[in-house]
Structures are given as structure tokens and as C-alpha cells.
Amino acid sequence: MPAIEVERQILPILGSPNQGARFYNPELPSSEPFVPGHRTCAGCGPSIQYRMTSKASGDNTILVGPTGCMYVANSSYLCTPYNVPWAHTQIGSAGSFTAGVAAAYEAMIRKGKWKGAFPNIICEAGDGSASDIGLASISGALYRNHDCLIICYDNEQYANTGIQASSRTPYGGMTTFSPPGPLVPEAKKLFPKDLARMMAAGHPHCYVATASVGYPIDLMNKVRKGLNHKGAAYLMVYTPCQKGFVYETPRSIDLGRLVVECGLYPIWEWNPEKRAYDYSFRPQSMRPVSEYLKLQGRFGHLHAEHIATLQKFANEQWRMMGVQLPEALIQAADAKNLVNMAAAAEAEAVAQTL
Amino acid sequence: MSTKGTHIPDHLKIPFAGITPAPSQEKGQDLFPTGNWRSIRPVYRDKLPPCNNACGTNEKIQGYLDLVKRGKYLDAYALIKEDMPFPSVTGRVCYHPCEQACNRGKYDEAISIRAVERFLGDLGQALTHDVVKAGAPNGKKVAVVGSGPAGHSAAYQLARLGYKVTILEKSPKAGGLNRGGIPDWVLPAHVLDREIERLVELGITIKTNVEVGKDVTWDDLKKNYDACVLAVGLTEPNSVRAEGENKDGVLYGLPFLRDIGMGTSKAKLGARVAVIGGGNTAIDCAREALRQGAAEVTMITVEGNSKEMPASPEDLHDMLEEGVELLHGRAVTAVLGNGKVEALQLHPARFSGAINASPITVDRDVQPERFAVDNVIIAVGQRASLKWLPDEFKNERGTIKIDRFGRLGDTNFFAAGDIVQLGSGQPLMVVNAVGDGKRVAFNLDKVLRGEPLQPRSIPIDVIVDLNRMNMTYFPHFPRVQQTLLPPASRRRSQDEVIQAFSEEQAVEEAARCFSCGTCNACDNCYLVCPEPCIARPERSNGLYKILVDYCKGCRVCIEECPTGCLEGVPELDFDTGVVRMDTAFAISPGLHGRQAEELMNLGDRPAKNI
Amino acid sequence: MATITEQKKRTVRINGCVASAQAAKYADVDVIAAYPIRPYTATMMALAQMVANGELDAEYIVADSEHSQLSIAHGAASAGARVFTGSSGVGVQFAYELYSPISGSRMPVQMMIADRTLDPPGDFGSEHTDALSTRDMGWLMGWACDAQEAFDNHLMGYRIGEDRRVLLPQMVCQDGFFVSHITSDVELPDSGQVKEFLPPYKHPYPLDPRRPVSHGPQIMPEQGPPLQLERARAMEESMAVIEQVHEEFARIFGRRYDPWVEEFMTDGAEVVFFMQGGHAVTARFAIQHMRERGLKVGLVRLRTIRPYPTDRVKDVLSKFKVVGVIETNMGLGSVSSGGVLYAEVCAALYESQQRPLVFSFMAGMGGEAIVLKEFYWMTEKMTDAQKRGKIEKRTHWVGFEE
């Protein structure tokens, strides 16, 4: 029997919510594949992303959930919120389970065993999965170019297991595996992996982009671009976690904007056709990193020199984006200029007793 | 066979291999309603935007600006017409207290509301048939004395309520101060004429050259009409009480403008003209004087500087551009000349107390100035002419005595406009008169229908604090400016000085409106909810609903609401019917068994439409 | 574009790896997850060529590891595709995390295992420990003793595993090298026979956007026991299906296998060898040799180790006086301090009224053949024990003792 041509959906890109001075979101699709009644924390950043992603993708979607908050918190206890098919897989199987689903549909449609347009297959992997244990499986899926979208919802830690450091946890980020103490006043010495760039550089035939819940329409459009791209696509999305970051719950979206405005989470796209980065995204303002850090308890232990170190890191990100650095941010990268902030020498480090 | 003889008890029944059927989009995952996690619940509560609040007739400004943003100009026009009969007039003449109150003014620049209103008013004028219709006739007759802003407004609202309205106007043309107090280069005559036409289209009868106290008496009104609105205005100009004020060449502000407006002016101005007064009328007179041929015009004010002048700063600015000179801190103590004014005697003067609300102290010890003029126009305010009014209804301010509803005692007579607003603390403005006329019309209607008149009891929350809104959604954008005719040419012409907005400009300017405290269906709350537990059958203000069974009270929606219409209310006792859960798990036993049933019957259900 | 031609019945001379590949082709698998490790790799090489030639229309995926292979298989089976994968030795163990999830989620993935000794160090020779170490994970498991049986077991495996009453994954095992790389005659059927025997795969609740379900949501502890009980029930109730399918296979293909144990020359035997896998072929030769010299010895070959046919093993082995369990696997620190088959045989025999003596023989380890001399040695040990009425030690390391 002759092979059947696999039909693939193309989803339209949404218009910008900023129409001149007016703020007005474009018409959103009405379908709601992610429904309420799940155990995620109030204000959960990954949940916000999950809902936006599902909405952008629509009903012809299959979701893959490697172990993490978006598995455990969403589906406990036998109370899943997914109105589209979803499967749990092992934390390290993010890319491979997804590849299996994609391959299955290629074969089943081609061989006439399933009729319809190729479903949108989306893997939602936390950064623990995407950056550590599942890195190889995701790289494999991207390299093999399965028609799927792999999303790393980046809350910069292993959250579901009670907040532990991952290779995405920022310098200075307190977690239960990287607590501050007299020997480690900055709590975390290591800088995170540049995960999204690894994916772009290593798999240039794929659509790769970063996004943030602070820019919902941009996020949804990138989801659609990834799904429309014939082949593998990868998104790394900043999704703040109230439990791990320790901030006031209503600020989830706000943090998503601030992290970009401080240069700590550059928003860019990798264009697989042009084989080039698109750094044209510009946030509304540029701020010193302290404006982002001060809202979060997980950075409460930082001293001036640590903040200056982070500012230096942020300044490098701005340079990468081709943004002219204002004098204020250059100054802020020197601890001497960070007035009213405790210096390590002056502050008394209080050791935690277990 | 270890499993032989085993059986799973009902309360532990679960679906095959733990595979759960999908929850529905309509009901959500109702095994686990997370609503009782919260201690604060979001509620949609539209606050009163400061523009609506400041407007003398409480136009729904935020509402019509929002409609303009959406390109619904006709709906926007209709919305204005609920409270304001002549937007094409106020769109030109109003001193826009709305713009003063506009929250955007604290952020970058206030919205150019007046210009948008003018755009809509002119659009409305171009309609063959107006959107407003007369109400079903109720058989009652009402007389409205005076066809100025208050009377026009009252007549308009009464016609919409179904009354047979007759306007009695003493001047040869209808319009009151709109006609006679506002120059053509602010409000062209044809624009006002069209508005008067609209009144006639509503079935209102207008009788000009009919003066109360002369052609018709108090008793006539009482006998021939079921009720009456007295909107007679302040027709008599105030005097400066200077010696020689009765010489030729001495003109008074409003009569000067009125005669020009009615087309009956015989004034011929000499080269040098002085205008006495610091208010808006004085400014209009000064600018009109230029257009009537004066070579040099000087405005003389008691106020010590421009800031103290009650006049609108923009109009003052435009006047100065046209070359009018300004002299502060002086009062006219005598008019000099031989039968005709040749000069003014000026003494230093100031207000003894509050600016414009206290007697003037003149310093007569100093040598006076002699200021040569060919004409002087005295524009220091107006007072009422109420000889026809029964004394019981006169008050000590020289205006009509009314209760707070605008009613004269127990009668069916009501009064509205400048005639009652003088000395009330409210500035005398067209829009305030319109509001007064509207409210009086509604009160009159209540009285005639036998309903009690009650003061408003609901507290109003006017939103003026930008911290109650989310400014990150509003980048700075400058105000769209209307163009003005160049000063050099316009000072000699009756052409309209301020130009209209184009459609693009109107939309661009309306787009800057924050929609303070009022939902404008931007969908942001709907978009950012993590559950999601905000539903809406369609995208419109008032149709957003929090699904209280699921809302965890995270308040991201409240934080990200640009307009601040979402608020949090504490909720610890769940009066919203939220299902209480005694465990952290599915809300009642057997629900997983239900899932198992559902899963087994999966094949029988119709396939989902994808 | 693949043009699948109808296959005609014929006999070919192929090895076990290629036989497995042929079985996957006849089964018209949809997704193949490959990753190289000796000795099973040859199966995947053969399949790669079949797919490239257009003889089989399948998605051939070169995975990035064995863990990924099994995850791909899990995902593809969940989506509703018939899946084929495989591994050997430490590769089998690299994928360990997936075995319980796959069987617990009731996905009938099929895994070809050409077994191989576990590290350390690298030893390409056959031992059964790799697959056996996963025996408690809920997969159907059994060893073929030759290439024909391997081919047949693969087809039966799909039929059993995909049956609605079963829905369990299968490890179809064969000895590395001895079966996987030695050629023998294999009868390949008509495509029509396979079509009659093996219906298309249809999971009742696949990941299908038209009938959305969630696979594997997080549960609370009290929901654990019912799920575990159902998994146990599935394994137990598969036994009836296994028997039924072997019956059908015999009818359609003309080759009859006992689903559980195969007896060879056990009539009148007093001592028997008990084993699984390819060494049975040499064992048969040895037993024939010994019988001709008057030794009353026979062979009982275990064909299915999971689900373990406890009662059948008890009934069969109770007929004999001594049972010598040949272990080609390692059970370090186990009950017998040797291999793992011993303990299960003893447990099966525990309630028997006539329990034979049981030995554990560590033989054929590391991929070494068990030679005739060694069969004689073991038989002597068993007959000695029979005379004395007791065993002197449970486990013997054949070739390392007097």
C-alpha cells in the first residue's frame, strides 16, 4: 500500500499586544487544553507557561511530562489537568520518549494506521531534566530532527524535590544543595550552563529560542514557530518558582520581565534557515541586576561584590545582544559603587546550624 | 496465583494502569477543586475614572475613548450623547476639567480628551439621522426657559424621556452663551446651528424673542406647563464701579461678544483697546477685539500674576501669541474722557483675601496711572436679572433659591445652570451647566412620576493613584497635539483657530488612555492565570468570571491588570460555595472509581474534535 | 517509500540475530530503536538494511543510549505503534530505569536480548545475567535455544504481549554467539500465516488527541497497592493466554512448543538437567551420548521464566530423583551462592510430596561451551548424590573442582 503523505498543521502567529500606546492582547485561541484543578503552587511560573504553551498549541497536541513539578504537581493525585493526551516519562527520557511518540506518528500516519494531521508533540522538561540528566536524550532528539518541540521550563533549580541546585541555578543562587555559609558566602560559586546556546550551536538545523513568562505573546508565538518548524525545535523559558526564589506570589510575571530587563536572561532566537542568531528583542528598560535580585529571598545573602559579579555577567549578556551599555551598569559591575550594600568583610556571616 | 480471590474495595478503585481519562475543558479537573487554598480572592470592581468624575456632566469618557480605540466611532458618539447633547460644541469650548484630572497627566501628558470628543461630535453632526431619538410621548409638557447650555441639556434629556418640550429664548437666535459668549473662531456658528437643529429633530419647539417677565409671566408658565426648567443664566454684566463708567466706548464683555454672536453688533473699535478682567471671558474679548480691528489690545487684571488668573492657561497662551499685552495688579478707578472714553485711570490693587472670591483692595495713596485707550471692554463677571421671579425663590446671592435637587420649594419649577451655580464654588463652565441641566431633568421627571428624590448613597471610589494600576503596560507616549492657525494671520480672522484631529490622530490619542480602574477587556488576567481559572464567554467588560472553585488566590491577575480594575478581597470563610476538602486528595471517595468507569467507556464517547 | 512484498514460505540459513530481524519484519513493526552493543547489534544492522531497501516501512531510530532506546520504545508504544528494540550485557542494564515503567504502564514493547556477560570486564561471551537481573520488573521473558525458536518466540511474544488480556512487554532472549551468531536452518513462513496469527497492535488507551488520556499520573501511597496488585494479576493471567497462543501457533505454523518446559529423553530418567537457552542443544547431544551408555539422564528445558510456571516445574521435576540446575548466570551472594535459577526451582519444589535433590552447576559461564566431559562430570555428581541420598554441597563450579 502506498505511503500516505503526512499533513502538518501551521499555526498563525499572534499580533503584538502593544499597538502604539494601547495595550490590548491579540485574539487568543479559545481552546483550553490545560484546565484548572492541579496541585501546583499558587502563582507557579511553570504552570503559567504550561497553560500558555497548551493554548498556543491547541487540541491536536500530545504532551510529554518528564519527572518534575510539571509532572508531580500537575498530575497528583490521579487528577491530571490535561485535556489533551499526556504521558509521564523518566526525568532522563525527556528527549527520547518524545522522539518515540513523534516517530510513532510518522510511521502510523504514513502506513495508514492513524488518520489526521500530524499532532503537535511537546515535551515539557524542567531544567533539571533538560540541563542535566536528560541532556543527552534531548540532544539526540534535536540531532535526529524529530518533528517535535522540546521546552525547558527553567526555574533554575530542581524544584519538585525541594529546591536543589541544577546546572541552571545562577551564581549566588541559594538552594538546599548550595546554601550560604562562612565557607561559601555567595552560596553558589558556579555559573550556570548556557543551555539554550548549547542547543542552538550543537543543532543548527533546529529552531531554538529563549523566552520568558514576562512576555506571554512572545512566548506563545515562539511555541507556534517551534511547532510550525518542520523538524525539532527547542525553547528555554524563564519560569519563576515562588518556593525556590522566595518572592511575593503575585510577582511571577513581573519577575519574568525584570530578569530580562536586568540582562540576566537574554531573549533571542536562532534562525535555522539563516543559520544566525536574532538578537533584536529589546525589553522596555535596562536595569541594574540589584532590582531583580532584591525581590527574591534566594539572593538575600549576597554581598556587594557578589552583586557586582552578577552585574558583570549581565553586562556580558548585553554585549552579546549588541546593546550599548549605559554608564550606570558599567559602574554597577564594580562593588565599590554599590553603596548601602553589605561588603563581605563587614557583614557577619551567620552559620546555619542543622 | 497470588491474585486469585482478591478484589479491590470500592474506595480504592482506580482506572486501568493508573491511566486517567482527560478532564473536560468545561468543568476542569473537578476531582480536585483548589479553591479552598486561598485566603484572598480577586474581584472585578470597576472604579470611577477621574475624567468621568471631573466632567461636569459625568460623561463616560473612559468608555468612549475605549470605543474609539476599537474603531467604534458611532458607538462612542452614542455613549457621549447619553450625558452630553452637543459634543461638537464642548469638543471646542470646554475647559476640560477631565484633562486636568486625567491620571496620565501625572505620568507624562494628559489625554487630549476634548479633541477626541470634537472628532466624535463632528462625526455625529455629519449623520443624516442622529442616533438619539425622542422617547415615547408621555403626554406631559415642560417649558425650558433659556436655550443656553443648561437649557439645551435639560430640554434634550426631557425630550428623550418622552416630554413635549418648549424652549423659550429671549434672544433672536437660540444658543445662549454658546452663541453669545463664545466667539466664532472657537465655536463656528454653523456647528452650533446644527446642534440646535438636532433639538428640533427631537420634537422640541423653540420660541425665540420670548422673554420671561415680559412676554410670558411666572403664572403663564405655571398654568400652561406641567413643569418648568429655569435656565435663564446670568445676563447682566458686573460693573467695576469706576467713575465715568457710563461714557461712550465703554463696553461690557458678554454683551460685546453676544451682539457679535447674534449678528447685531454695532460696536466699532478704535486702535487701542483695554480689556478689564482676568477670566476666560476677558481673554475671549481681548482676542475678539483684535479680530474686530483693534491694533493694540491690553488686558488689565487685579491678579498679581498669570498663575492667579482664573483663565485657562492654554487660552492665555494663545492670546499672548496673538500679541495681547498683559498688565497685572491694577484696578480701574475712573474712566477718563470727554463724553467718550479716552483713557483709564488705574490704581494698584489686589484681592483682600482669596483670589477672585474676596473684595478688591485699591491703593489710592499711590499716584494713579493714566492708560490711553479708544475702547474699554469690562469683563468682570455677570449677575442675574430676576425681576420676574417670586421673591420667595430669591436668595441672598442674587440667584434662584433651590434645594439640592434643583427644585424651587415644592413647585414643579426647577432651575439649572449659571443661574444657580454662581457662588456655589463650582467654576461657571458650559459642561457644568450641561450636567446641571441633565440632573435637573431627571429630578423633574422623578417628581412628575411621583417618585421620591433621594441623594446618592453609594460611595464612589475615584481612582487617582497610579500605584493601583500597572504602569509597565504603558510606555511613555507624548500627547498628540492639535495644530493651531499661525498667530499672525489668525488674529485678523474669524476662522477656527484650533484644528480638528484626523481619524488617525483621534485613535492614536485615545490609545493613550489608561482606562483607569475600568476593565477594557485587554485579556491580560485571562492570559496570565496559572490555573487557568478566569473564564469569559466573550471578550467584554463585565463578562470576566473568576472560577472560585479553583482560584488559589495567587493574585498574579491583580498584579498584571493594567487598569487596576481587579482587586483582592480577604476570604477566609468561603461564602462563595467553594467545596471544602478534608483531605489533600480527591474531594470525595469513589471519584477514582468514576474515572475507571469513564476510562472503560472511552471508546464509546464521540471522538474529540481536533 | 517502502514497497512491502508478500513473503513466501522458505527455509534460509541464518543466525539468531537475523532471525530476530526477520521476525520484526514479518511483524511489520512501526518503530525500531537501535543502539550498538555486541552481540545483538547484528539484528539492528539487518533491520537497517531492510528499511533502507524498502522491505520494511518503519521509523529506524539510532538512539543516543540504551536508556534512550527504551524510552523511545515506551513513547512509541504509548502512541500506538508496534515497537522493536534490543540490547545485550551492560546495555540491558543501562536502560534499567525504564523496565518497571514500561511494564507498569502496560505497553507491549518487545526487546530482543542476545545475552552477554556483564562487566567487569568486557566479555562478549554469553551469560544470562543481563536479562535475568530484570526478571522482577514485570516483563514476559524466556530463552530460545536456536534461531528457529528465536524467530517463533518473537512472533508469539507480540501476539501474547499485545493481547488485551495481557498488555505486557516481552524480552525475547537468546544466547549471545551460541544462538545469535551461529547459523542454522530457519523456516520463514508465508506473510499470510503471520497476518492470520498476529492482528495489528491496538492499545485500548493510546496517546491519541481524539481520545485524550493521561498516562502515569502521580499517585498517593494508598493507590499504590491496587496498582501493584493489578500488575501481578496481569502477569498471572497471561499464563492462560500464553498457552492459548502456543496452541494457535502450532495450528498455523505447524511447530508446537510447550509453553513452559520442554522435556528431552526424560522417560525413565532418574536424574535430569534443568536449564534454559542455547546450551540445551549441546545438552541434548550429551544426554543422547550418555543414554546410549546406559545413564538414566534427561533434560528439562525452561522455555518461559517469566511468568514462572511454578506448578508445572513442581509437577515435572517431582518425577525425578535428582535435578541438576545448570546456571549460565551469576547470583552473587544468593541462596545457592551461585546462580539464580536454583532458588526458584527449590521454591517451586518446596510443596512437592516427592522433592528431588537439587544441585546448582555453574557451567557455560563467560560464553564458554559446556563440553561433553563436563556433562559426564555433572551427571556423575548427580548419580553419586542419588546413591548417598544427599548432596554434599549445593553449588559446583564445573571445571574448577575434582
- In chain B, positions 50-89, which contact chain A (CB-CB < 8 Å)? 69
* C-beta atoms of B16 and C230 within 8 A: yes
The pLDDT assigned to A145 comes to 98
- Residue-number span of the structural domain to which C197 is assigned: 10-253
Residues in chain A with CB shorter than 8 Å from the CB of C214 are 75, 80, 82, 85-88
List the single best residue of A79, A93, A124 to mutate versus C (max C Cβ within 10 A).
A93
Task: Compare CB distances from B23 to A42, A81, A253 and report the shortest one's residue.
Answer: A81
Q: What is the structure's pLDDT at A11? A: 97
CA A88 → CA A94, B291, C225, C311, distances in Å? 9, 83, 20, 37
B391 CB neighbour count, 10 Å cutoff: 7
- Taking the CA atoms of residue C370, residue C375, residue C376 and residue C377 in that order, the dihedral angle to the nearest 10 degrees is 80
One domain, residues C71 and C184? yes
pLDDT at A350 (0 to 100): 41
Q: Could you tell me how many CB contacts below 8 A there are between chain A and chain C? A: 184
Residue A347, pLDDT > 90, answer no
Confidence of residue A343 (pLDDT cuts 50, 70, 90): low
* CATH architecture, domain A28-285: 3-Layer(aba) Sandwich (3.40)
Mutate one of C164, C228, C229 to test the B interface: name it (highest B CB count within 10 A): C229
Specify whether C42 is located in the same domain as C113: yes
Tell how far CA B243 is from the center of its chain. Answer: 42
Chain A, window 112-131: residues with a beta carbon less than 8 angstroms from a chain C beta carbon = 113-114, 116, 119
> Position A80: which residue type?
T
Question: Which subunits count as partners of chain B given 3+ CB pairs below 8 Å?
Answer: A, C
Query: For the domain that residue C278 is a member of, what is the CATH number?
Result: 3.40.50.920
Q: Which fold has domain B50-130+465-510?
A: Fumarate Reductase Iron-sulfur Protein; Chain B, domain 2 (1.10.1060)
Angle (deg, nearest 10), helices C224-253 and C147-162: 130
Q: How confident is the model at residue B583 (pLDDT cuts 50, 70, 90)?
A: low
- The closest alpha carbon to B165, from B183, B152, B150, belongs to B152
The neighbour count for residue B344, using CB atoms within 10 Å, is: 28
pLDDT band of residue B261 (cuts 50, 70, 90) is: confident
Same domain, C202 and C79: yes
Q: By a Cβ cutoff of 8 Å, what residues of chain B touch chain C?
A: 1-4, 6, 8, 12-14, 16-22, 585, 592, 599, 602-603, 605, 607-608, 610
Q: Is C9 on the interface with B (CB under 8 A)?
A: no
Q: Which residues contact C287 (CB under 8 A, 6 or more apart)?
A: C264, C265, C273, C297, C298, C299, C375
Q: Does A89 or A337 have the greater pLDDT score? A: A89
* Interface test mutation site (partner C, options A96, A129, A150, max chain C beta carbons within 10 A): A96
| Strands annotated E in B401-489 | 413-415
Strands B40-44 and B141-145: unpaired
By Cβ distance, the residue of A84, A87, A99 closest to C209 is A84
Cross-chain residue pair B555–A249, CB shorter than 8 Å: yes
Cα torsion C98, C104, C109, C113: sign: positive
Inter-chain CB proximity C75 and A99 less than 8 Å: yes
Which of B28, B512, B560 is closest, CB to CB, to A21?
A: B512
Residues 243-272 of A with CB under 8 A from B: 249-254, 257
Same domain? For C233 and C310 the reply is: no
Is residue C386 pLDDT above 90, yes or no? Answer: yes
Mean pLDDT of B357-367: 89
Q: Do residue C38 and residue C68 come from a single domain?
A: yes
Contact C204 B603 (CB under 8 A): yes
Cβ of B11: how many Cβ atoms within 10 Å? 10
B578 or B81: whose pLDDT is higher? B81
Q: Are C74 and C180 contained in the same domain?
A: yes
Chain B residues near residue C227 by CB distance under 8 angstroms: 14, 17-18
C73 & C201 share domain: yes
Phi, psi of B97 (to 5 degrees): -60, -25
Positive or negative torsion for Cα A104, C131, C306, C102? negative
pLDDT of residue C197: 98
Cβ-contact B95, B186 below 8 angstroms: no
Q: Are residues C36 and C185 in the same domain?
A: yes
Q: Are B586 and A78 in contact (CB under 8 A)?
A: yes
Q: Do C285 and C247 have their domain in common?
A: no
String of DSSP letters for A17-83: SEETTEE-PPPPP---SB-S---PPTT-HHHHHHHHHHHHH-SSEEEEEESSHHHHHHHTTT---BS
Q: Which of residues C224, C253, C282 is at a domain's end?
A: C253
pLDDT at position B181 over 50: yes
Q: Would C4 be classed as within a structural domain?
A: no
The answer to whether the CB of B495 falls within 8 A of the CB of B291 is: no
Overall average pLDDT of the B432-444 stretch: 97
Nearest Cβ partner for C223 among B14, B599, B602: B14
Q: Does residue B532 have a cis peptide bond before it, meaning omega lies within 30 degrees of 0?
A: yes
Which of A25, A47, A84 comes nearest B527 by C-beta?
A25
For chain C, say whether A106 makes contact (Cβ under 8 Å): yes
- Optimal mutation site among C31, C60, C98, C201, interface A, most CBs of chain A within 10 A: C31
Cα–Cα distance for residue pair C70/C33, rounded to 1 Å: 8
DSSP category for residue A133: I
Q: Do C211 and B608 touch (CB under 8 A)?
A: yes
Please state which of the ranges B383-397, B507-521, B553-567 shows the lowest mean pLDDT: B383-397
- Smallest CA–CA distance from C5 into chain A, residue: A1
Contact C77 A100 (CB under 8 A): yes
Which pTM does this prediction carry? 0.94
Per-chain mean pLDDT for chain B: 93
Contacts 24+ apart (CB under 8 A), C334-337: C336/C360, C336/C394, C336/C395, C337/C394, C337/C395
> Stretch A196-220: mean pLDDT, rounded?
98
Residue among B599, A85, A143 nearest C80 (CA): A85
Q: Do B529 and A51 touch (CB under 8 A)?
A: yes
* Angle CA B193–B194–B200, to nearest 5: 95
Domain residue limits, chain A: 28-285
Q: Which residues of B touch A117 (CB under 8 A)?
A: 610
Ordered by start, the domain boundaries in chain B are: 13-33+581-604, 34-48+519-570, 50-130+465-510, 141-235+384-448, 240-382
**Residue at C402 is within a domain:** no
pLDDT band at A351 (very low <50, low <70, confident <90, very high): very low
The C-alpha cell that represents C166 in the structure block: 495481557
What letter represents residue A45's amino acid? G
| A18, A239, A292, A298, B559 from A255: Cα distances, Å | 19, 9, 7, 13, 12
Mark whether C301 and C156 lie in a shared domain. Answer: no
Query: Would you call C111 helix, strand, or coil by DSSP?
Result: strand
Tell me the pairing of strands C31-34 and B164-168: unpaired
Contact B19 C227 (CB under 8 A): no
- The overall longest dimension of chain A from CA atoms, in Å, is 79
Residue C356's Cβ-side half-sphere holds a number of Cα atoms within 13 Å equal to 29
Same domain, C269 and C129: no
C327 in the same domain as C275 = yes
Dump strand ranges (E) for B394-495.
413-415
C-alpha cell at C364: 557455560
- Name the residue among A28, A59, A78 with its Cβ closest to that of B20: A78
| CB-CB under 8 Å, C207 with A85 | yes
What separation, in Å, do the N-terminal and C-terminal C-alpha atoms of chain C show?
A: 63
Please indicate if any CB of chain A lies within 8 Å of the CB of B471.
no
Question: CA-nearest residue of chain C to B6?
Answer: C229
- The model's pLDDT over C14-70, given as tens digits with 9 standing for 90+, comes to 999 999 999 999 999 999 999 999 999 999 999 999 999 999 999 999 999 999 999
Tell me if C5 is assigned to some domain. Answer: no
Asked if the structure places residue C1 within a domain, the reply is: no
Could you please state the CATH topology (level 3) that the domain comprising B34-48+519-570 is classified under.
Alpha-Beta Plaits (3.30.70)
Q: What is the pLDDT of residue A344?
A: 52
Q: How far is CA B93 from CA A71, B183, B338, in A?
A: 64, 10, 39
What are the grid coordinates assigned to C373, written together? 566431559
- Is C227 part of a structural domain of the chain? yes
Residue A77 burial (CB count, 10 A): 22
User: Please, what sign has the CA dihedral across residues B90, B92, B94, B100?
Assistant: positive
Determine the residue type at B596.
A
Residue A352 has pLDDT above 50, yes or no: no
Closest CA relative to residue C276, chosen from C258, C250, C253, C296 = C258
d(CA A204, nearest CA chain B) in Å:
32
Read off the pLDDT band of A353 (50, 70, 90). Answer: very low
CB contact at 8 A, C47 and C125 = no
pLDDT at A3: 81
Rounded to 5 degrees, what angle do the CA atoms A273, A278, A283 make?
Answer: 150
Task: Report strand pairing: C322-327 vs C357-362.
Answer: parallel
3-state secondary structure of B48: strand
- Please answer whether residues A243 and A39 qualify as being in contact, where contact means their C-beta atoms are separated by less than 8 angstroms: no
Q: Which of A108, A120, A227 to mutate to test the interface with C (most CBs of C within 10 A)?
A: A108
Give the closest of B2, B21, B610 to C210, CB-based: B610
The reply to whether residue C73 touches residue A79, judged by beta carbons under 8 angstroms, is: no
Q: At which residue does the C-alpha cell 453632526 appear? A: B125
Q: What is the pLDDT of residues B58-113, one digit of tens each?
A: 999 999 999 999 999 999 999 999 999 999 999 999 999 999 999 999 999 999 99
Q: Do domains B141-235+384-448 and B240-382 have the same CATH topology?
A: yes
**Pairwise pLDDT comparison (A78 vs C130), residue with the higher score:** C130
A43 vs B511: CB contact, 8 Å cut-off?
no
Q: Write b or e for each residue in B458-490: b if 16 or more Cβ atoms lie within 10 A of its Cβ, otherwise e.
A: eeeebbbebebbbebbbeebebbebeebeeeeb
Q: Is A9 on the interface with B (CB under 8 A)?
A: no
For B422, B426, C69, C90, C328, the CA distances from C334, given in Å and listed in that order, are 107, 100, 31, 20, 14
Shortest alpha-carbon distance between residue C115 and chain B (Å)? 29
Pick the closest to residue B199 from B166, B177, B233, B225 (CA basis): B166
The count of domains in chain C is 2
Closest residue on chain B to A77 (Cα):
B585
Contact C33 A64 (CB under 8 A): no
B508 and A51: CB-CB below 8 Å? no
What letter represents residue B567's amino acid?
A: E
Whole-number Å distance between alpha carbons of B391 and B414: 15
Residues of C in contact with B6 (CB under 8 A): 229, 233
- Inter-chain Cβ pairs, chain A and chain B, closer than 8 A: 162
End-to-end alpha carbon distance in chain B: 44
* Topology classification of domain B141-235+384-448: FAD/NAD(P)-binding domain (3.50.50)
Is residue C121 reached through a cis peptide bond, with omega within 30 degrees of 0 on the bond before it?
yes
User: Radius of gyration of chain A from Cα atoms?
Assistant: 21
A40 touches chain C (CB under 8 A): no
CA C324 remoteness from chain centre: 20
**Residue C244's CATH number:** 3.40.50.970
* Structure confidence by residue, pLDDT tens digits, C168-214: 999 999 999 999 999 999 999 999 999 999 999 999 999 999 999 99
Give the chains touching A; criterion: ≥3 Cβ pairs < 8 Å. B, C
> Touching check for A337 and chain C: CB below 8 Å?
no
Alpha-carbon distance of C16 to C151, in angstroms, equals 8
What is the CATH number assigned to the segment(s) B240-382?
Answer: 3.50.50.60
Q: Which of B3, B22, B585 sits opposite C213 (nearest CB)?
A: B22
Per-residue pLDDT tens digits for A284-335:
999 999 999 999 999 999 999 999 999 999 999 999 999 999 999 999 999 8
B17 interaction partners in chain C (CB closer than 8 Å): 104-106, 167, 215, 227, 230
For residue C154 the three cell numbers come to 518473537
- With pLDDT > 90 as the criterion, what percentage of chain C qualifies? 96
Q: Where are the extended beta strands (E) located within chain A?
A: 18-19, 22-23, 61-66, 86-89, 120-126, 149-154, 207-212, 233-238, 269-271, 276-278
